[in-house]
Amino acid sequence: MTGYIVRRVMQAAGVLFGVSILVFLLIHVVPGDPVRLALGTRFDPETYEALRQRAGLDQPLIVQYFNWITSAATGDLGVSFRSGRPVTQMILGRLPATLSLAFGAIVVALVMSFTLGTIAALRQGSKIDHVATAISQFGISIPDFWMGILLILLFGLQLDLLPPSGYVSPLDDPWRFLQHLVMPAVTVGVVSGSILTRFVRSSVLEALGEDYTRTARSKGLRERTILVGHILRNALIPTITVTGLQLAYLLSGVVVIEVVFSWSGLGLLAYDAVLDRDYPVLQGAVLLFAVFFLLVNLIVDLLYSYVDPRIRY
Amino acid sequence: MSQTQTAAEVPDRSGDPVLEVRDLRVRFGTKRGTAEAVNGLHYDLYPGETLGIVGESGSGKSVSTLALMGLVPEPPGRVEGEVSFEGRNLLDNTEAQWRDVRGNDIAMIFQDPMTSLNPVLPIGRQVTEHMLLHLGMSQSEANDRAVELLERVGLSDARRRLDSYPHQLSGGMRQRVMIAIGLACKPKVLIADEPTTALDVTIQAQIVELVNDLQDEFEMGVIWISHDLGVVAGIADRVLVMYGGRVVEEAPVDELYADPSHPYTLGLLGSLPVLGRRDREELTAIPGLPPDPVDLPRGCTFRPRCPYQLDERCETERPPLRDVGPAHRSACFYQVPDQEEPGEAFDV
């Protein structure tokens, strides 16, 4: 197990290295000059050159990359062109918002998918099954930002039940934090939940038809024991992969939703950085998304061996 | 292994049967119409007795035993008739009453031990979970009993095996675990649904022998389902031959093999290789396919595949079971001559 984890972390480091090169190149190759953007339409060529020099933009790309990656390895992601603040500090400041939205959404998704998916599978072909399938089809089809706007209009403005947008730190006011979290978490969670519902439904259906379920019935166990102890336990295995992918996606900042709800997380940070050509911030954010992805995948693989004894590392 | 049963080994049938099946019918509603899977099954099972049920796939043998445990899904299934267990008709059971019967009074072991055990649960939990329920044992009591049972069915190092998972055991070992699960609550009836089909031949013999021994020990009635007449010959006291959801022949095991009466039984025996017999030139096959339960043939269900069809009633009437010898009954209008070799009429 330890050997496996070490191997996986080494692999992850390799992937990260590749990602860092790609991110760096992509950002530097796309048109747009951050210094020119920062200076506005009228500027002095000397100031321009001086600023470029200070940001290191006059050096060859390879040197720029090397400088960036060596300091990134020590946790220093550089300084924002725009605000002049250290990027690492900016990212850490945004992390709680993104983490809370991602985990809030995944909770919504899991509750929704396991409830709907299991009921639909147990009552296959019934009205409940059709309704559940329709809901998940709906959730997959509608664009999340549109649903977000509708929710804001309905609950935020029309009914005035929830704050329409914004983020409040749970340390400042836990109750208001939760109130602000509900709508974005539901918006994102319903999309992920709809995808997961289909997986849960088909996994439960498959497990229902398995011989071991018949064996469990032949022992005289209660239906609930069979469902929880035998069927869901097996249905969990394929579902974990999809849940992991969804979580990784959510952690990489749900950009559009964070914009719609003014949720000041990493997605919004990256979005602003793109508009401002704020290279260091954008590079740092994308690199962090890659780290999240690798980390979640590693955790999923480790969880696998926990829920499925046939898998041993 | 008791390849041939001597008179002394034949179980006592003078007492009360543990299971009485009367006119058992199982139907399924399908899109094409009603599938008549089991049509009027009728038999008694005595303590210590082994009843072999033989037939092709789709003959209704497995479904008929699922009905004994209330495991036929209703709907689309529909079970009628009477199954008396200790004087009570099980078919009147509520779901809660069925749960009391399943795994407790009547237990079942299944065909494929590779898929019949839950892959993600340890063996110990799978052997003990119904003991906790039916026998009201604590987990540690149940564990002790599980170790005893696993040792009894021939698993070495049983205590350690409680924490093993099915994939860590061989097919034969898994079937032994299935048997331990079946025996856990000392059932009065054990239904073995082709438990040796998925195993290789040497393991088959061990499993047959094991069940034989355990049956004496536990005084159980055993229903052994198989499509393999060879295996049934080794274990059964009496045999029912099923075809199209009906019993077409019923006889003590020796009698059935020595003096088969129904053309279908003759065909089955003719398709069985016999070691050391050189006079039989080749194995015969029964032409055609088993009948479609949604559209059973008129008259005798075996008629379309029958080489005799010598009675005018074959096409119009269902032949009833009639006595052809002591405890030997056959559902055929025609009496096949005694000297005819099994399968001979199927040679074309």
- pLDDT tens-digit map of A23-72: 888 777 777 777 777 677 777 778 778 877 777 777 888 888 888 888 88
Among the partner-chain residues A211, A215, A221, the one whose CB lies closest to the CB of B133 is: A221
> Chain A: residue nearest B65 by CA?
A218
Q: Which chain B residue has the Cα nearest residue A212?
A: B116
- Mean pLDDT to the nearest integer, A268-287: 87
Confidence of residue A148 (pLDDT cuts 50, 70, 90): confident
| DSSP designation for B5 | -
Shortest distance between the Cα of A224 and any Cα of chain B, in A, equals 13
Q: Which residues contact B297 (CB under 8 A, 6 or more apart)?
A: B244, B291, B303, B304
Amino acid (1-letter code) at residue B46: Y
* pTM reported for the whole predicted model: 0.80
A311 touches chain B (CB under 8 A): no
Task: Tell me, yes or no, if B129 comes closer than 8 A to chain A by beta carbon.
Answer: yes
What pLDDT, on the 0 to 100 scale, is given for residue B231?
82
Whether chain A has a CB inside 8 Å of the CB on B308: the answer is no
pLDDT digits (tens, 9 = 90+) for A85-98: 899 999 999 999 99
pLDDT band with cut points at 50, 70 and 90 for residue A118: very high
- Residue type at B286 in one-letter notation: I
- Please tell me which residue of chain A has the smallest CA distance to B72: A214
Least confident segment among A211-220, A283-292, B1-10, B18-27: B1-10
State whether ipTM is beyond 0.85.
no
Answer whether A233 touches B (CB < 8 Å): yes
CA distance B131 to chain A (A): 9
Judging contacts by C-beta atoms under 8 Å, the chain A residues touching residue B110 are 211, 214-215, 218
Whether A253 has a pLDDT exceeding 80, the answer reads no
pLDDT of residue A56: 76
**What is residue A231's DSSP assignment?**
I
pLDDT of A197 reads 93
Question: What pLDDT, on the 0 to 100 scale, is given for residue A196?
Answer: 92
pLDDT attached to residue A104: 92
pLDDT at A82: 79
In the prediction, which pLDDT does B107 show?
92
Closest CA of chain B from A213, distance in Å? 8
Instruction: State what percent of residues in chain A have pLDDT above 70.
Output: 98
Quote the pLDDT of residue B1.
40
Tokens, residue B344: 């001979």
Which pLDDT value is given to residue B336?
A: 67
Look at A217 and B119 and tell me if their CB atoms are within 8 Å. Answer: no
Contact: A233, B110; criterion CB under 8 Å:
no
Alpha-carbon span A43 to A89, nearest angstrom: 30
Contact B120 A309 (CB under 8 A): yes
Q: What are the extents of the domains in chain A?
A: 2-87, 96-286
**Total CB pairs under 8 A between chain A and B:** 76
The answer to whether B181 faces chain A, any CB pair under 8 Å, is yes
Chain A residues close to B119, C-beta within 8 Å = 212, 234, 308-310
> Does the pLDDT at position A111 exceed 90?
yes
Task: Note whether B23 and B8 are within 8 A (CB).
Answer: no
Q: Which secondary-structure segment (H or E) carries A201?
A: helix A174-208
Measured between beta carbons, the chain B residues lying within 8 angstroms of A238 are: none
- Report the alpha-carbon distance of residue A12 to residue B175 in Å, rounded: 43
Which residue carries 């974990």 as its tokens?
Answer: A240
Q: Does B218 touch chain A (CB under 8 A)?
A: no
Counting beta carbons within 10 angstroms of the beta carbon of residue A87, is it exposed (0 to 12), middle (13 to 18) or buried (19 or more)? buried
Q: Closest to A212 (Cβ–Cβ): which among B69, B117, B133?
A: B117
A298: Cβ contacts below 8 Å, ≥ 6 apart? A5, A8, A9, A12
Query: Which of A123, A214, A218, A231 to probe the B interface (max B CBs under 10 A)?
Result: A218
Decide if B196 contacts B204 (C-beta within 8 A): yes
Contact of B190 with chain A, judged by CB distance below 8 Å, is answered with no
pLDDT of residue A105: 92
Predicted confidence (pLDDT) at residue A176 exceeds the cutoff of 60: yes
Q: Are strands B238-243 and B50-54 parallel, antiparallel or unpaired?
A: parallel
Q: What does the pLDDT profile of chain B (348 residues) look like in tens digits?
A: 444 444 335 566 777 888 899 999 998 888 888 888 888 888 889 888 899 999 888 888 888 988 999 888 877 888 888 899 988 898 888 888 899 889 889 999 888 888 899 999 999 999 999 888 888 888 888 889 889 888 888 888 888 888 899 999 888 888 889 888 988 888 899 998 888 777 777 777 888 888 888 888 888 999 999 888 888 888 888 999 998 888 889 989 888 888 888 888 888 887 777 666 566 567 777 877 888 888 888 888 888 888 877 777 888 888 888 888 888 888 888 776 666 666 666 765
Average confidence score pLDDT of chain A: 86
Please tell me the distance from the alpha carbon of residue B197 to that of residue B113, in angstroms, as a whole number.
10
* Whether B133 contacts chain A with CB within 8 A: yes
Residue owning tokens 């009485």 = B20
User: Which pLDDT score, from 0 to 100, does residue B274 have?
Assistant: 67
Site of tokens 């119904």: B130
Class of domain A96-286: mainly alpha
Contact A216 B118 (CB under 8 A): yes
Domains and CATH numbers, chain B: 16-236 (3.40.50.300), 261-346 (no CATH)
Q: How many CB atoms lie within 10 A of CB A133?
A: 16
Q: Which residue does chain B place closest to A230, by CA atoms? A: B118
Choose from A123, A124, A203, A219 for mutation: most chain B CBs within 10 A. A219
Using CA coordinates, name the residue in chain A closest to B109.
A215
Pick from B45, B36, B35: which is nearest to B68 by CA? B45
